[in-house]
Amino acid sequence: MTRRGKPFLLVANRAILPHQFLKRMFVTWNWKLISSSPQYYNLKIGRYTIKLQPEYFHIIFGEWGEWKKYHLPPFSLNGTTVLDVGAGCGETALFYFIHGVERVICVEANPDLAKIIRENSRANKWSAEIEARPFGIEMLKLHFDFMKMDCEGCEAQLLNADMLPACVVEVHDKRVLYALMSKFGLRIARAMTTGTNVRNNDFERRQRRMYYLGWRFARAREKLHKARGLRKLYYAIMLVILELHPDFINVYRARWGRVWEAYYFPHQTNRREDA
């Protein structure tokens, strides 16, 4: 039970409310956890078996249903090539292969994660190209049909492009979001503002600290862009201090803070907005 008397379940050592668990089980009914350890999980989805770090297991378990809503274009992906920026352990590559993609270009700056993508690609015989380096604007010149971008800040580089491909982009900065909307006509599919209500995150003290850290970071980053003089220096120092916090990487992986799912389909702009 939570401190407010709400029941919760532990899934791979992560607290989750019963209604959230039932919703996710409905989406993941045909998944099978082959093995687990403190370092890795091996998960079977359909005919594919994927190796994941624990944090990425929680991401795929928690977000798979949302990916079906927001990470797919309004056209068929059968036989296409996808540029997957922020590929993690290959979980989104798996998602796109299940939806008929022929080839995925995986961009992942973390060398440890890129190594896992290679293992998953070999084990499942994927047609995948792994770019073990940060996203660069020159990658937009690669041959692909659709781009998914979730790279915790590198979306700002898109402002240097002359044009965008069909894409879905997770944006972490309101200023960048508005600039992309103004330049390319990006549209918002969903705004995920985890707000200021700690009651949803009272499973344990550490989760409340993570919530507060993410909220403070998002607020400080927004104020930094508006501030001038010494005030700007103050917020810059605050951001550096927050980034040094040992829970900072978990904050981003757990998707705390303010995030917008945006999309750009040059020839199909009638998708419903949920912002």
Please report whether residue 15 resides in a domain. Answer: no
Higher pLDDT, 194 or 25: 25
Does 201 fall in a domain?
no
Domain of 86, in residue numbers: 54-194+257-264
Q: What local confidence, expressed as pLDDT, does residue 206 receive?
A: 47
Q: Check residues 175 and 14 and name the one with the higher pLDDT.
A: 175
Lowest mean pLDDT among 25-34, 74-83, 86-95, 113-122: 25-34
Q: Is 125 helix (H, G, I), strand (E, B) or coil?
A: coil
Cα–Cα distances in angstroms (integers) from residue 60 to residues 13, 40, 127, 215, in the given order: 15, 14, 21, 23
- Joined together, the tokens standing for residue 124 give 């499942």
Q: Is residue 202 assigned to a domain?
A: no
Q: What is the pLDDT of residue 25?
A: 64
pLDDT value of position 202 = 39
218 in any annotated domain: no
Q: What is the mean pLDDT of residues 126-137?
A: 95
Q: What is the pLDDT of residues 237-246, one digit of tens each?
A: 877 776 666 5
- Find out whether 96 and 82 touch, Cβ atoms under 8 Å: yes
Average pLDDT over residues 117-134: 96
* pLDDT number for residue 256: 44
Q: Predicted confidence band at 130 (pLDDT cuts at 50, 70, 90)?
A: very high
What is the total residue count of the chain?
A: 275
**Strands (DSSP E) found in 108-257:** 128-131, 146-149, 167-171, 187-193
Mean predicted lDDT score pLDDT of the chain = 80
Does 274 score more than 70 pLDDT? no
Does residue 231 lie within any of the structural domains?
no
Q: 99 in a domain, yes or no?
A: yes
Please say whether the dihedral angle defined by the alpha carbons of residues 86, 166, 81 and 133, taken in this order, is positive or negative. Answer: negative
- 37 part of a folded domain: no
pLDDT on residue 28 = 74
Count of Cβ atoms closer than 10 Å to residue 129 Cβ: 15
Separation CA 237–CA 118 (nearest Å): 38
Q: Report the number of distinct structural domains present in the chain.
A: 1
What is the edge-to-edge ordering of all strands in the sheet holding 258-264?
A: 128-131, 103-107, 81-85, 146-149, 167-171, 258-264, 187-193
Examine residue 76 and state whether it is found in any structural domain, yes or no. yes
Q: Among the ranges 11-15, 54-58, 271-275, which has the highest mean pLDDT value?
A: 54-58
Burial zone of 273 (CB within 10 Å; 0-12 exposed, 13-18 middle, 19+ buried): exposed
Q: What is the pLDDT of residues 216-233, one digit of tens each?
A: 666 777 788 788 888 888
Residue 135: the pLDDT is 95
Q: 35 φ, ψ to 5°? A: -155, 160
Higher pLDDT, 148 or 5: 148
CATH number at residue 90: 3.40.50.150
Cβ–Cβ under 8 Å, residues 58 and 12: yes
Instruction: Identify the pLDDT of residue 253.
Output: 45
pLDDT at 189: 87
Task: Find, among 8, 145, 130, 148, the residue nearest to 66 by Cα.
Answer: 148
